[in-house]
Amino acid sequence: MDTDVLVAWFAETARLVHRERERLTDLDAAIGDADHGSNLDRGFSEVARALATSPPDTPAQVLATAGATLIRRVGGASGPLYGSVFRQMGKSLTSPVTLAGFAAAFEEGVVAAERLGKAALGDKTMVDALVPASRALALAVRDGVGVREAFEQAARAAADGAKATIPLQARKGRASYLGERSVGHEDPGAASAALLMAALATVVA
Ligand code: ADP
Ligand code: MG
Ligand code: MG
């Protein structure tokens, strides 16, 4: 896994988020303010553009650029949260990038977002997809699973985690204002986190 793989990860994420922007916004319309798809479409397309315009030299620089761009360009809760994931990952990632190194940096990135948002697993947020993905990567490293299989498992764990938010009541973010009325809807941020992991599985395949 080198710089090119990380650049490809963000390009594929931008493509998936653009393709799924209406679904993400519809999910946010149900329990938020109907802007998650447009927020992330704007943010990740800007990330992809920044990376294409001035290609970074190192994986850490790719992540730093992605994080800073999302924080600057996404005018919603999700921008700083995803931004903190990538910025922290960029600080934690050691070179050359291995699966174990990536998994450890990703975990630190997820912890940074949990701290920033004060959200825990089960609060019906993006954390509910990110944490299972991070755990799946850690298990894959422990079991000596190959890179492709590891990211497939992480993508599946994130998708399952996103679906598992449906019966939950939101305890963080805008959706929490709805109280019990947030039950029965998939969390938009968990859905976008699943796209992020699906993109990663695609680019390492
Ligand atoms: P906004 O709610 O400001 O309009 P977005 O619609 O872009 O921002 O993103 C909403 C998503 O952000 C939610 O679905 C949830 O996954 C995530 N989110 C919101 N607040 C928090 C938080 N405190 N911690 C973790 N994730 C959060
Ligand atoms: Mg919103
Ligand atoms: Mg908003």
pLDDT, one tens digit per residue, over 96-136 is: 999 999 999 999 999 999 999 999 999 999 999 999 999 99
ipTM of the complex: 0.99
Question: Is residue 1 predicted with pLDDT exceeding 90?
Answer: no
In angstroms, what is the span from residue 60 Cα to ligand 1's centroid?
25
Instruction: Give the ligand with the smallest distance to the CA of 175.
Output: 1
Q: Are 45 and 186 in contact (CB under 8 A)?
A: no
For residue 169 the two structure tokens come to: 């009541």
Chain centroid to CA 10: how far?
10
Return the DSSP state at 170: P
User: How far is residue 43's CA from residue 2's CA, in Å, rounded to a whole number?
Assistant: 23
Q: Give pLDDT, residue 7.
A: 97
- Number of continuous H segments (helices) and E segments (strands) in the chain: 9, 0
CA geometry: angle 25, 153, 125, nearest 5 deg: 35
In angstroms, what is the span from residue 71 Cα to ligand 2's centroid?
15
Domain span at residue 96? 3-204
> The CATH number of the domain where 30 resides is what?
1.25.40.340
Ligand 1-lining residues (CB < 6 angstroms): 28, 32-33, 35-36, 39, 76-78, 81, 117-119, 125-127, 172-174, 187-190
Which of 125, 127, 185, 195, when mutated, tests ligand 1's pocket best, judged by the most ligand atoms within 8 Å of its CB?
Answer: 125
Task: Give Dmax (Cα) for the chain.
Answer: 48
User: How far is residue 78's CA from residue 71's CA, in Å, rounded to a whole number?
Assistant: 9
Q: Give pLDDT, residue 75.
A: 85
In angstroms, what is the span from residue 28 Cα to ligand 3's centroid?
9
Chain centroid to CA 1: how far?
18
Give the number of domains in the chain. 1
For residue 23 the two structure tokens come to: 């679904």
For residue 174 the two structure tokens come to: 């805008």
Place of tokens 């190192």: 58
pTM for the predicted model, two decimal places: 0.97
